[in-house]
Structure 1
C-alpha cells in the first residue's frame, strides 16, 4: 500500500458524508478488483483532492456534477454525485441549473444524459 496511513480513513469519512453507506459499497467493489485499489483511488480522490481546504464540500460537489455531466460518459458516477451534492446542501433547483448549463458548453447530448442521471438520483433521494 502507498500513501499516508491516514488517507483511506479520511477518504471514507468524506465519502460517508456524501452518502451514508457508500464507503462499504465502494471499498467492497474496489477490494474485489485489487487490495490496494481503495487506498490508491479513494485516498487520492477524496483525501488528497476533495478533502483539501479552499473550496467547501457543497461547491466541490456542484463542480463534480458539472464536470461529470459535461463528460457525458459517467452515468453511475453522475447519479452518485447528484445524490452526494444534495446531501452536501445543493438544492434540486441548483442541480437543474447546472445540468441545463451543460447544454451550452458540452452540448445537448451530454445534457440529455445528465437529465437522465439527475432524474434517477432525484427519485432515489425522494424515496428516502
Structure 2
C-alpha cells in the first residue's frame, strides 16, 4: 500500500492512473510500490494527480504526447508500452499511434523509431487479441 501524504492528490492520481489501463496501474501500484513506495507515491500524486489532471488537454492528447516523447527518448520502451495501451484506452487508434511514431522518425532516426514500432506492435498484439 502506498504511504499517502496528500489524500486529494492521491485519489485524483489513482483515478487518472486507472484511466490509463491495467498495466499502468499494476506497474505503479504493485511493482513500483514494492521497490520504492515513495517513488510510487510521487508518480501517482505528482504525475497523475497534478500533471495528468490539469485542464487544457484531453487524456487522449496527453497520451499522444507521451508516446511522442517516449519514442524520442529511445530507451524507455516499458514506459512507452504503458502509454500506448493508455492511448488505446483513451480512444486513440492503432493508425494514430503508428503515425505518431512515423512522425517522430524524422527527428530521432530509424533505429529508435523501429524500436518504438516494435514495442507498439507488442501492445497491439496483446490489446487486440
**TM-score for the superposition, normalised by structure 2:** 0.89
C-alpha distance 25-106 of structure 1, shift in aligned 2 (>3 A): closer
| SS across alignment from 1:109 | helix
Aligned residue among 54, 64, 67 for 2:66: 64
Aligned residue among 62, 75, 78 for 2:77: 75
Looking at structure 1, the residues matched to 79 and 46 of structure 2 have their Cα atoms a distance apart, in angstroms, of 16
Shift of 1:65: 0.5
Structure 2 portions without partners, runs of 5+: none
Shift of 1:25: 4.3
Shift of 1:23: 2.4
- The 5 Å alignment of 1:1-128 reads 4-20=6-22, 22-127=24-129
Structure 1 portions without partners, runs of 5+: none
Shift of 1:73: 0.4
Aligned length: 127
- Deviation per CA, 1:28-73: give whole Å up to 9, x if none: 2222123322221221111110111011100000000010011110
